[in-house]
């Protein structure tokens, strides 16, 4: 199985900051990575698929990059509604495992 | 609009079985797959398995292969997750999600609201 290692596990930032979350795959997975945002008590919400494709309706301050084993989710100019937990997922081979999540908190 | 509506919370005893439903609407059901993902309290997301609503082909995570069955009913546009021999560490929120594909890359784009399952004696 392919393991996804996400870092950091938690992160404190302020409104207006730029933050980057990283996901590393245990083997090369091309660009088969998806990113999700999850708020407490809610289901995950898809932000980015195929490593860098922004889902329609998702603000352009969110972006994804990477290929092979290393991937990043970047949020520029953090907004109050962005404080949440973020998950990466590989969709290269089943089981389509998720990273352990990154909790983004207000500083 | 696409909606996935799941059945309500369940409380089960260890060793019991569970069946969670996921009613889909707002899209052509047989054109997409569906996945099930669970999340234990305070933990990350765990991919359990996938089903094609067209062919009924399934793919399960090895961890769940012996205890889980995923099915769909095209006549009611519903998917089901059955789990047997429940243990306390099966206590989690269970989500269904529609599985889309773009350029060969699958991704779950719409999610149900989640079903809380508590396994306790």
pLDDT at B37: 98
Q: Tell whether the model's pLDDT for residue A86 goes beyond 90.
A: yes
**pLDDT, mean of residues A89-97:** 97
- Closest CB from B35, B44, B103 relative to A99: B44
Whole-angstrom distance between the N-terminal and C-terminal Cα of chain B? 40
- A window 10-49, beta carbon within 8 A of B: 31-32, 34, 36, 43-46, 49
- Residues of chain A with pLDDT > 90, as a percent, come to 98
pLDDT tens digits for range A64-77: 999 999 999 999 99
Helix (H, G, I), strand (E, B) or coil at B55: coil
- CB neighbour list of residue A81: distance below 8 Å, 6 or more residues apart: none
Q: Tell whether the model's pLDDT for residue B93 goes beyond 90.
A: yes
**B82 min Cα distance to partner chain A (Å):** 18
pLDDT band at B1 (very low <50, low <70, confident <90, very high): very high
pLDDT at A35: 98
Mean pLDDT of the residues in chain B: 97
* Chain B nearest-CA residue for A35: B107
C-alpha–C-alpha distance, residues B79 and B108, integer Å = 15
pLDDT at B103: 86
- Closest CB from A31, A44, A45 relative to B45: A44
- What is the arrangement of strands in the sheet containing A62-67, beginning at the earlier edge strand? A4-7, A19-25, A70-75, A62-67
Tell me whether A1 touches chain B (CB under 8 Å).
yes
Q: Are A78 and A14 in contact (CB under 8 A)?
A: yes
**B97 min Cα distance to partner chain A (Å):** 9
Instruction: Give the number of other Cβ atoms within 10 Å of residue B116's Cβ.
Output: 14
C-alpha–C-alpha distance, residues B86 and B65, integer Å = 14
Phi, psi angle pair for A6, to nearest 5°: -105, 140
Helix (H, G, I), strand (E, B) or coil at B17: coil
C-alpha–C-alpha distance, residues A94 and A33, integer Å = 13
pLDDT at A29: 97
Three-state secondary structure readout of A45-79: EEEEECCCEECCCCCCCEEEEEECCEEEEEECCCC
- Closest CB from B46, B50, B107 relative to A46: B107
pLDDT tens digits for range A27-65: 999 999 999 999 999 999 999 999 999 999 999 999 999
Q: Are B10 and B119 in contact (CB under 8 A)?
A: no
pLDDT tens digits for range B24-81: 999 999 999 999 999 999 999 999 999 999 999 999 999 999 999 999 999 999 999 9
- Closest CB from B45, B102, B106 relative to A87: B45
**A47 min Cα distance to partner chain B (Å):** 9
Q: Tell whether the model's pLDDT for residue A80 goes beyond 90.
A: yes
Tell me whether A53 touches chain B (CB under 8 Å).
yes
């Amino acid at each position: 199985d392919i393991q996804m290692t996400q870092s950091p596990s938690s992160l404190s930032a302020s409104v207006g900051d730029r933050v980057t979350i990283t996901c590393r795959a245990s083997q090369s997975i091309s660009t088969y990575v998806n990113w999700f945002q999850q708020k407490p008590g809610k289901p995950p919400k898809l932000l980015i698929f195929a490593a860098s494709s922004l889902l329609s309706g998702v603000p352009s301050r969110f972006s994804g990059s990477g290929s092979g084993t290393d991937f990043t989710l970047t949020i520029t100019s953090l907004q109050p509604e962005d404080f949440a937990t973020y998950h990466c997922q590989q969709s290269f081979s089943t089981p389509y495992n998720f990273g352990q999540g990154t909790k983004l908190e207000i500083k | 609009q696409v909606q996935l509506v799941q059945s309500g919370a369940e409380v089960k005893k260890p060793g019991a079985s569970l069946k969670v439903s996921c009613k889909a609407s707002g899209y052509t059901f047989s054109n997409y797959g569906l996945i099930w993902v669970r999340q234990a309290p305070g933990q990350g997301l765990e991919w359990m398995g996938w089903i094609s609503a067209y062919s009924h082909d399934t793919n399960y995570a090895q961890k769940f292969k012996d205890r889980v069955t995923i099915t769909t009913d095209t006549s009611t546009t519903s998917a089901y997750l059955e789990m047997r021999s429940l243990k306390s560490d099966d206590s989690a929120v269970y989500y269904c999600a529609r599985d889309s594909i773009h350029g060969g890359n699958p991704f779950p784009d719409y999610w149900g609201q989640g079903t809380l399952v508590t396994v306790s004696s």
